[in-house]
Amino acid sequence: MISRRVIITGLSTYWGGRLAQALEADPRFEAIIGIDKTPPKVELQRTEFVRVLDQHSLIRRLVEAAEIDTVIDTRMVVDSIVTAPRLAHENNVLGTMNILTACTGPDSPVRKVVFKSSAHLYGAHQDDPAFFTEVMDRPHPPRTALERDIVEAEGAVREFADRNPDTTVTVLRFTHGLGPDLRTSLTRLFGAPAVPAILGFDPRCQFVHADDIVGCLEHAVRNDLDGTFNCAADGVLTLSEVADLLGKRLAPILPPWGTGLAAGVLRRAGLQLSPELQNLMRFGRGLDNRKLKASGYRYRYTTRETVLKLREHQRLHPLLRGSTEAYRYEGEVEEFLRYSPSVRPATRHRGRRPTNLPPGEAGAGDDDADGGRATVTGARYEDLEAEEVVAVLPSLERRDLEDLRVHERERAGREPIVAAIDRILARQR
């Protein structure tokens, strides 16, 4: 199945925003709609933002009205320090159920659901395997609230998949992400002058670069991956290795017994360690990422390179701090830019490039698919013959056709083209 009309739930999370930026560069996605409770935090070109709370009836109306074929759920909260437990539960369990409910029903247009989950599902225990594969269950039931929520949410997704065998359901279990723009309890931990550790333990840890998280999500949208996939970079490092790469010392300040109490003292000192992180600092965790690699995805960074990137960022951060302004979403401005007839079509989509995309991400999909649009909406459009324009019309997207129709009626005034556009639009309807 080829996804054309997608909805991104959790647009205002880091992942939702980055994914929308990556997808909107590709004209094959006709409609990209993002929903969230708060406005997006990144600059978007053509993604339409709708503020929706977790009401499944509203989401369902959106899905049906826009004939959404792919739902990408990036809302999952995976850090129990950043979000309060009650809010996290609301979001992770009830939110997931609402979104799944909105996708069910015999006449639902949804054909694909991509769900961002977390490796917290596996937990970290003494009797874990060194590398979890997707089919393995955690050896003990979850004990922290966050892990319970994630297990419950994935259970709901699995149930949804069983009930809707025709829908492709992809569950991506991400290990801890690291990246320059990410603020998690882990980056805070690595930002400390020395990397805290539990005395007598040197756990194995595995990370995934933020670019790869977006890459994995995009890979799941572009390809049909049915089932569950671990997403973690190649290579598992020991914590001492990580500290080495960061150019820091390993500080075994936490005692092996009574770790929780000592973590409480540390919290007073300003360094928070979530219960999940404490388990991880004791037992560590590794994921087997070969299933996703077998599906064709190639990670851009290994775990080691991910840590080195973080180190580069840590060096640069004090110099760059405050130099870039945070993006603020202005509803009216975005509305004007997207829908006002006064905005020239050329500037509507192509005028601004997303500024906060890494070099590899910018235009990740538009090298071969963009040709048609560039010819028609480019500067030399007026020089084209009416027949030539009519010939390329079927390859255009709906919104481009509508733009072109407005342009043709108001400026060029070539009747055959307007009539041809009307015919195509009528057929699509």
Partner 1 sequence: MAPGRRTSLKTNLPAAPAHPRDLLPAVEPERRVDDWGRSERFEGLMDRTLYDFFYHLWFRCEVEGIENVPATGGALLVSNHSGALPPDGSMIAKAIKEEHSRSRPVYLTVEHFFKGYPGFSMLLPKIGGVSAHPANVHRLLCDEQQLVLVFPEGRKGTEKLYRDRYRLQRFGRGGFVAAAMRARVPIVPVALVGAEEAAPIFGHVPLLQRLTGLLYFPITPTFPHGGPLGMLAYLPAKFKIRFLPPVPTDEMADQGDEPWEDRGLVQTLAHQIRATIQEELLDMVSKRRSVWLG
Q: Figure out which of the listed residues 51, 163, 267, 298 binds partner 1, where binding follows CB under 8 A.
A: 298
Burial (CB count <10 Å: 0-12, 13-18, 19+), residue 311: middle
Residue 312 contacts partner 1 per CB under 8 A: no
7 vs 45, 65, 118, 165, CA distance in Å?
15, 12, 21, 20
- Angle at which helix 275-283 crosses helix 259-268, to 10 degrees, equals 130
Nearest to 205 by CA among 173, 178, 172: 178
CB of 178 to partner 1, least distance (A): 14
Q: Figure out which of the listed residues 2, 53, 65, 199 binds partner 1, where binding follows CB under 8 A.
A: 199
Q: Figure out which of the listed residues 155, 296, 331, 416 binds partner 1, where binding follows CB under 8 A.
A: 296
CB of 86 to partner 1, least distance (A): 31
Handedness of CA 380, 385, 386, 390 (dihedral sign): negative
CB of 360 to partner 1, least distance (A): 6
Nearest to 171 by CA among 247, 116, 241: 116
Q: Is 235 left (phi over 0), alpha (psi -120 to 50) or beta?
A: left
Q: Figure out which of the listed residues 86, 106, 107, 127 binds partner 1, where binding follows CB under 8 A.
A: 127
Judged by beta carbon, residue 25 or residue 71, the one nearer partner 1 is 25
CB of 243 to partner 1, least distance (A): 12
DSSP designation for 79: -
The Cα–Cα gap between 293 and 111 comes to 23
Residue-wise DSSP of 174-185: E-EEE-TT---H
DSSP designation for 413: -
From first CA to last CA, the distance across the chain in angstroms is: 20
Contact 242, 311 (CB under 8 A): no
The span of 47-55, 188-196, 265-273, 296-304 binding partner 1 (CB under 8 A) equals 296-304
Q: Figure out which of the listed residues 297, 401, 403, 404 binds partner 1, where binding follows CB under 8 A.
A: 297
Q: Figure out which of the listed residues 122, 302, 334, 357 binds partner 1, where binding follows CB under 8 A.
A: 302
Contact 287, 132 (CB under 8 A): yes
The span of 13-21, 265-273, 295-303, 349-357 binding partner 1 (CB under 8 A) equals 295-303
The span of 60-68, 106-114, 128-136, 388-396 binding partner 1 (CB under 8 A) equals 128-136
Residue 134 contacts partner 1 per CB under 8 A: no
Q: Look up residue 260 and give its two tokens.
A: 């929780």
User: Any idea how long the chain is?
Assistant: 429
CB of 293 to partner 1, least distance (A): 5
Contact 202, 254 (CB under 8 A): no
Judged by beta carbon, residue 293 or residue 405, the one nearer partner 1 is 293
CB of 209 to partner 1, least distance (A): 10
Which 217-276 positions form the footprint of partner 1 (CB under 8 A)? 218-219, 222-223, 234-238, 241, 256
Q: Figure out which of the listed residues 177, 286, 345, 354 binds partner 1, where binding follows CB under 8 A.
A: 286
Q: Look up residue 137 and give its two tokens.
A: 């269950």
Judged by beta carbon, residue 234 or residue 370, the one nearer partner 1 is 234
Which 346-405 positions form the footprint of partner 1 (CB under 8 A)? 360, 364-365
How many of the chain's residues bind partner 1 (CB under 8 A)?
Answer: 46
The Cα–Cα gap between 92 and 81 comes to 15
Return residues touching partner 1 (CB under 8 A): 126-131, 133, 136, 198-202, 204, 215, 218-219, 222-223, 234-238, 241, 256, 282-283, 286, 288-290, 293-298, 300-302, 304-305, 360, 364-365
